[in-house]
Chain A
Amino acid sequence: MKLSDLTNSASEWLRGSGPLSEVVISSRIRLARNVNGFNFLSRCSRADRARLERRIRDTILEAAIADKTLYVDLAQAPDLDRQLLVERHLISKQHATNEGARGVAIGGGETISIMVNEEDHLRIQVLRSGLQLDEAWEQINAVDDKLEAQLDFAFSPRFGYLTACPTNVGTGIRVSVMLHLPALKLTGEIEKVFRAAKEMRLAVRGLYGEGTDATGDFYQISNQTTLGKTEDEIIGDFKHVVIPKIIEYEHHARRTLLNDRTIALDDKVHRAVGLLRSARLMTSEETLFLLSHLRMGINLGRIKNVDLKTVNELVLLTQPAHLQKHAGRKLEGDMRRAARAELIRQRLGVV
């Protein structure tokens, strides 16, 4: 498997076919792990860092975490490749821009990614389409077991898995669910969700995680507490309490729009379609905003000749690195915006 094989299709998590995919885009779980005998990365010498990277890479490749595993050496990879991996949610922005020996292992149709030498020695991630937290946990737990059989993870009985940042210590788990909440945004009730999330000690972020805005009404909700609760409890909170409640709110808001504000809703949706099908220059921000409205239109049965998969693919493929990989050359400014607009018109089937 090569990196270039990834460019032309959507990642597994964007298939748009998982359970409750009309609201839940994806379920993600990550585990932070460190290897005994090496300092955390802020205090790791260059030589140790390189040694650690080789050791973890060899272990991952030998442990057969998936049928096919691709390992990318990020210190050697070109900028564009690293950006591509960020856009596919396989590495963090921080991991792309960091320096020194580091990499990422990708397997299982992009459901598994293991960042090596990010903030912690290992950041294991499983990303799945729709609401699939149990499946994600089962998968990541098995990967963790396989790696743990070969690597001596830093662990203390009192504090659990030891991490570079004390906010991750204990289980080292972060559960994130990405939601599409256009109706709550339109009805102005999204603030309520934020407040409730805050009360439950959950973080709300944008499409690309830390420090990003919620463009196109896509929100990531994740836990902050990692100590004093079991993995099952943390996942259970999401599965039984948080997510069903938010889905219910969003459905309610969608019904309200559909019943009481039908014309305004149709106007929004068809304006989005009109622009997407005719514009010649598109920024990524406007694209996400419009695709969000189109997605809502499809989910509410207002648009029938476009499927969800097409919209999800466009969310991914209209991003800068994907556009440039697709074109096979560097695109900047208006060139890039023109290429984006063209791709959208092609995929939506009207010129």
Chain B
Amino acid sequence: MKCDNCNKPATVHLTEIKNGKKIEKHLCQECASTLEDFSPKGHLPINELLTNFVMAHSGLDKKGDTTAVCENCGISWEEFRKNGLLGCSADYQAFEQELSPLLQRAHEGATHHVGKTPLRRGASMPPVKHKTDLVRLRKELAKAVEKENYELAAKLRDQIKLAEEQD
């Protein structure tokens, strides 16, 4: 078959459905490459690349992997590893252990958030008795981490854990 535009052999075949009509195009490589509308998806999304890269370097590719599954959305760690996207916000808790080394790789060793906090953040948290205490402790923890005072951070983390368990 010859290319629709020139006489070279057609190597790219496209079918488009427009207004119920099927339109077929047969093009050679050269003519196809000048079709600028929607070039074929030849590029890997960057997050997939990043995740693959991070996975490969974090020792998570080895055997003996976790079989963890998120109870909320049903995604398994295995599935996440395949496409690099999590299924819901609860995954961060469900896979906390597995995610930690990956996050450190991806974020220059960082383990905790220190940036903006939503003003309404209390609304999205599980209800806790010692709420004010917890909020204060978490703030202090974020500050300690920011100042790289890891000794204090470790102490605060223990206190937070304790407060959460008492709840």
Cβ contacts under 8 Å, B34 to chain A: 283, 333
State the CA gap A156–B88 with chains docked (Å): 13
**A96 → B minimal CB distance (Å):** 8
A40, B103: Cβ atoms under 8 Å?
no
Complex Cα–Cα for A170 and B50 (A)? 16
Which residues from B are CB-within-8-Å of A167?
Answer: 47, 50-51, 54, 106
List A77-98 residues whose CB lies under 8 Å from chain B: 79, 83, 94, 97
Contact of B12 with A by CB under 8 A? no
CA distance A152 to B45 in the complex (A): 28
Which residue, A152, A159, A168, has most C-beta atoms of chain B within 10 A?
Answer: A159
Number of interface residues of A (CB under 8 A): 58
Contact with A along B66-81 (1 / 0, CB 8 A): 0000001111000000
Least CB separation from A39: chain B residue = B88
State whether the Cβ of B1 lies closer than 8 Å to any Cβ in chain A. Answer: no
B118 is contacted by which of A94, A153, A169 (Cβ under 8 Å)? A153
B93 nearest CB across to chain A (Å): 8
Q: Does A119 contact B47, Cβ atoms closer than 8 Å?
A: yes
Q: Is the CB of B87 within 8 A of A156?
A: no
- Least CB distance from A289 to B in Å reads 15
Binds B, one of A68-76, A219-227, A248-256: A219-227
Q: Which residues of B sit under 8 angstroms from A134, Cβ to Cβ? A: none
Question: Is the CB–CB distance between A166 and B51 below 8 Å?
Answer: yes
- If A119-B47, A155-B121, A167-B51 touch, does A160 touch B113 (CB 8 Å cutoff)? yes
Contact string against B for A residues 170-212, beta-carbon threshold 8 Å, 1 for contact and 0 otherwise: 1101000000000000000000000000000101000000111
Q: Are A158 and B112 in contact (CB under 8 A)?
A: yes
Cα separation A163 to B86 with both chains bound (whole Å): 8
Residue numbers in A under 8 Å from B110 (CB-CB): 170, 225, 227-229
Interface contact B111-A228, CB-CB below 8 Å: yes
Q: Which residues in chain B, 1-56, are within 8 Å of chain A measured between CB atoms?
A: 5, 31, 34-38, 41-47, 50-51, 54
Residues 284 to 333 of chain A near chain B (Cβ within 8 Å)? 284, 319-321, 332-333
How distant is A330 from chain B, measured CB to nearest CB, in Å?
9
Q: Which residues of B contact A242 (CB under 8 A)?
A: none
B36 touches A320 (CB 8 A): yes
| Contact yes or no, B88 A83, CB < 8 A | no
By a CB distance below 8 angstroms, the chain A residues around B102 are 166
Residues on B with C-beta less than 8 A from A201 are 108
Chain A hits for B162, CB < 8 A: none
| With known contacts A42-B85, A167-B50, A228-B110, A152–B119 Cβ distance under 8 A | no
29 sample A-B contacts, Cβ–Cβ < 8 Å, listed by A number: A34-B89, A36-B124, A39-B73, A43-B87, A79-B37, A148-B119, A148-B120, A154-B89, A156-B93, A159-B103, A159-B112, A165-B84, A166-B106, A168-B47, A170-B107, A170-B110, A171-B116, A201-B108, A203-B46, A224-B106, A225-B110, A228-B109, A228-B114, A228-B145, A231-B115, A320-B37, A321-B37, A333-B5, A336-B36
Extra contacts besides A79-B37, A161-B113 (7): CB < 8 Å: A40-B87, A94-B45, A154-B89, A166-B86, A167-B51, A210-B45, A336-B36
Closest 8 CB pairs of A and B: A228-B110, A211-B43, A160-B113, A43-B87, A154-B89, A227-B107, A171-B115, A162-B89
